[in-house]
Amino acid sequence: MPSRPNILYIHTHDIGRYVQPYGYAVPTPHIQALAEEGVLFRQAFCANPTCSASRAALLTGMYPHNNGMTGLAHRGWALNDYGQHIVHTLRGAGYDTALAGVQHEAHGAEPWHTIGYDRWLGSEAAHEHAAAYLASAPHQPFFLSVGFSDTHREFGPLSDAGDPRYCRPPEPLPDTLQTREDMAHFMTSARAVDAKMGAVLAALERAGLAENTLVICTTDHGLAFPRMKCTLTDSGTGVMLIVRGPGGFDGGRVVDSLVSQIDIFPTLCDLLGIQPPAWLQGVSLMPLIRGEVADSRDEVFTEVNYHAAYEPMRAIRTKRWKYIRRYDDRDAPVLPNCDDSPTKSLWLEYGWAAMAPDREALFDLIFDPNEAHNLIADPRAADALADLRARLDAWMRETDDPLLKGRVAAPAGAVVNHPDGLSPREQPMPAPGA
Domain containing 25 — which CATH number? 3.40.720.10
Task: Determine, yes or no, domain membership for 425.
Answer: yes
Using one digit for the tens of pLDDT, what is the confidence trace for 158-201? 887 788 999 999 988 999 999 999 999 999 999 999 999 999 99
Of the three residues 226, 256, 289, the one that is the final residue of a domain is 289
Q: Read off φ and ψ for residue 44, nearest 5 degrees.
A: -100, 145
The answer on 238 and 144 residing in a single domain is yes
Which segments of 249-378 are extended strands (E)?
253-255, 259-260, 300-306, 310-317, 321-326, 360-364
Tell me the Cα Rg of the chain: 21
Task: Determine, yes or no, domain membership for 1.
Answer: no
Task: Determine, yes or no, domain membership for 295.
Answer: no
The answer on 176 and 155 residing in a single domain is yes
Of the three residues 289, 311, 327, the one that is the final residue of a domain is 289
The answer on 306 and 281 residing in a single domain is no
The answer on 27 and 47 residing in a single domain is yes
The answer on 310 and 187 residing in a single domain is no
Task: Determine, yes or no, domain membership for 294.
Answer: no
Neighbours of 412 (CB within 10 A): 10
- How sure is the predictor about 264, in pLDDT bands with cuts at 50, 70 and 90? very high
| Per-residue exposure over 163-189, b if at least 16 CB sit within 10 Å of its own CB, e if not | ebeebebbebbeeeebbbbbbbbbbbb
Task: Determine, yes or no, domain membership for 133.
Answer: yes
Helix, strand or coil for residue 53? helix
Domains of the chain: total: 2
Interatomic CA distance for residues 39 and 42, integer angstroms = 10
Q: Element (H or E) spanning 216, and its range?
A: strand 213-219
Using one digit for the tens of pLDDT, what is the confidence trace for 96-111? 999 999 999 999 989 9
When the pLDDT of each residue in the chain is averaged and rounded to a whole number, the result is 96
The answer on 311 and 398 residing in a single domain is yes
Across the strands, what pairs with 363? 322
The answer on 335 and 194 residing in a single domain is no
The answer on 273 and 384 residing in a single domain is no
Task: Determine, yes or no, domain membership for 28.
Answer: yes
Task: Determine, yes or no, domain membership for 63.
Answer: yes
The answer on 250 and 312 residing in a single domain is no
Look up residue 188 and give its DSSP letter. Answer: H
Q: Element (H or E) spanning 384, and its range?
A: helix 382-398
The answer on 170 and 151 residing in a single domain is yes
- CATH number (domain holding residue 331): 3.30.1120.10
The answer on 266 and 144 residing in a single domain is yes
Q: Cα(first)–Cα(last) distance of the chain, in Å? A: 50
pLDDT at 434: 64
- How sure is the predictor about 72, in pLDDT bands with cuts at 50, 70 and 90? very high
Torsion angle, alpha carbons of 422, 424, 426, 429, to 10: 110
Task: Determine, yes or no, domain membership for 281.
Answer: yes
Neighbours of 330 (CB within 10 A): 14
Asked if 242 and 37 touch (Cβ cutoff 8 Å), the reply is no
Q: Which whole-number Å values give the CA distances from 218 to 34, 232, 239, 261, 326, in the listed order? A: 12, 18, 7, 9, 27
Share of the chain above pLDDT 70, in %: 99
Residue 73 has pLDDT above 50, yes or no: yes
Asked if 333 and 357 touch (Cβ cutoff 8 Å), the reply is yes
Of the three residues 257, 289, 321, the one that is the final residue of a domain is 289
CA-nearest of 294, 298, 330, 329 to 316 is 298
Using one digit for the tens of pLDDT, what is the confidence trace for 312-367? 999 999 999 999 999 998 999 999 999 999 999 999 999 999 999 999 999 999 99
pLDDT at 1: 38
Residue 77 has pLDDT above 60, yes or no: yes
161: amino acid identity, one letter? A
The answer on 308 and 271 residing in a single domain is no
Domain that holds residue 396: 300-430
The arrangement of strands across the sheet holding 360-364 comes to 300-306, 310-317, 321-326, 360-364
Using one digit for the tens of pLDDT, what is the confidence trace for 36-61? 999 999 999 999 999 999 999 999 99
